[in-house]
Structure 1
Amino acid sequence: MRKLIIGLACLIGLVVVVDFGAAAYSEYQVSRALREGGSLTADPEVTIHGFPFLTQAWKGKYDDVEVRARQVPNEMIGDVTIEATLNGVSVPASAIVEGSVREVPVDHLEGRMMIDPTDLGKFLGIPDLQVSAPPADRSDGTGGSGGSGSPTTGGIVFTGTVPVGPLQESVSVQADLVLRGEQLMIVATDFYFGPEGQEDFSVPTPLRQGVLDRFTKTIDPQSLPFGVIPTDVYAQGSQIVIEGSGDDLIINLDNLQTKV
Structure 2
Amino acid sequence: MPGIRKVLVIAVTVAVVAAGSVLLVDVGAAIRSEHRLARALAESPRVPFDPEVTLAGFPFLTQASKGDYSGATIAARGVELPGCEPARGICRGELGATLGRFQGPERGDFTGSDVLHTSSISAYTRLDAVTLARYLRITDLTVSTPAPDGKAGGGGPQDGVVSRSEGVVFTGTVALPPDAGLAADDPPSASSFTGPKVRVSVAVDLSVSDGALEIRATDFYTGPERHVDADVPEQMRAAVLDRFSMVLPPLPMAWGLVAQRAESFGGDVQLVADSGPAGLRPGRF
The two structures share one fold, judged by TM-score above 0.5: yes
Cα distance in 2 for residues equivalent to 1:148 and 1:159: 23
CA drift at 1:138: 3.5
> Any residues of structure 2 matched to 1:220-231 within 5 Å, and which?
220-231=249-260
Structure 1: stretches of 5+ with no match in the other structure: none
Answering whether residue 247 of structure 2 is matched by residue 218 of structure 1, we say yes
**What amino acid maps onto 2:136 in structure 1?**
L
Give the alignment partner of residue 264 of structure 2, picking from 207, 218, 235: 235
Residues 90, 38 of structure 1: alpha-carbon distance in 2 compared, 3 angstrom cutoff:
farther
CA drift at 1:222: 2.6
- Asked if the contact 1:91–1:101 (Cα under 8 Å) also holds between the matched residues in 2, the reply is no
Number of aligned residues: 250
- Asked if the contact 2:46–2:80 (Cα under 8 Å) also holds between the matched residues in 1, the reply is no
Cα distance in 2 for residues equivalent to 1:110 and 1:167: 45
Residues 140, 73 of structure 1: alpha-carbon distance in 2 compared, 3 angstrom cutoff:
closer
Q: Match for residue 146 of structure 2?
A: 134
Comparing 186-195 and 118-127, the one that deviates more: 186-195
- SS at structure 1 position matched to 2:15: helix
What's the TM-score, normalizing by structure 1? 0.88
Comparing 227-236 and 112-121, the one that deviates more: 227-236
- Asked if the contact 1:182–1:223 (Cα under 8 Å) also holds between the matched residues in 2, the reply is no
- SS at structure 2 position matched to 1:68: strand
Give the alignment partner of residue 5 of structure 1, picking from 3, 12, 18: 12
> Any residues of structure 2 matched to 1:7-46 within 5 Å, and which?
7-46=14-53
- SS at structure 1 position matched to 2:130: helix
What's the TM-score, normalizing by structure 2? 0.81
Comparing 73-82 and 174-183, the one that deviates more: 73-82
- Asked if the contact 2:135–2:248 (Cα under 8 Å) also holds between the matched residues in 1, the reply is no
Q: Match for residue 108 of structure 1?
A: 120
Comparing 123-132 and 100-109, the one that deviates more: 100-109
Structure 2: stretches of 5+ with no match in the other structure: 1-6, 85-90, 178-194
**What amino acid maps onto 1:83 in structure 2?**
G
Q: Match for residue 88 of structure 1?
A: 101
Answering whether residue 226 of structure 2 is matched by residue 196 of structure 1, we say yes
Give the alignment partner of residue 169 of structure 2, picking from 150, 157, 168: 157
Q: Specify which structure has the higher proportion of strand.
A: 1
CA drift at 1:150: 2.7
- CA deviation string 1:121-171 (max 9, x = no partner): 011100100111334223588x9xxx6853111111111110123511111
Cα distance in 1 for residues equivalent to 2:160 and 2:175: 29
- CA deviation string 1:174-202 (max 9, x = no partner): 11111122011111111122243222x22
- Asked if the contact 1:182–1:220 (Cα under 8 Å) also holds between the matched residues in 2, the reply is no
- Asked if the contact 1:134–1:155 (Cα under 8 Å) also holds between the matched residues in 2, the reply is yes
From the CA coordinates, give the structure whose radius of gyration is larger. 2
- CA deviation string 1:37-93 (max 9, x = no partner): 244221101111211000111121111211111111112361111221111111121
Cα distance in 2 for residues equivalent to 1:139 and 1:252: 45
Answering whether residue 136 of structure 2 is matched by residue 124 of structure 1, we say yes
**What amino acid maps onto 1:36 in structure 2?**
E
- SS at structure 2 position matched to 1:37: coil
Residues 8, 197 of structure 1: alpha-carbon distance in 2 compared, 3 angstrom cutoff:
closer
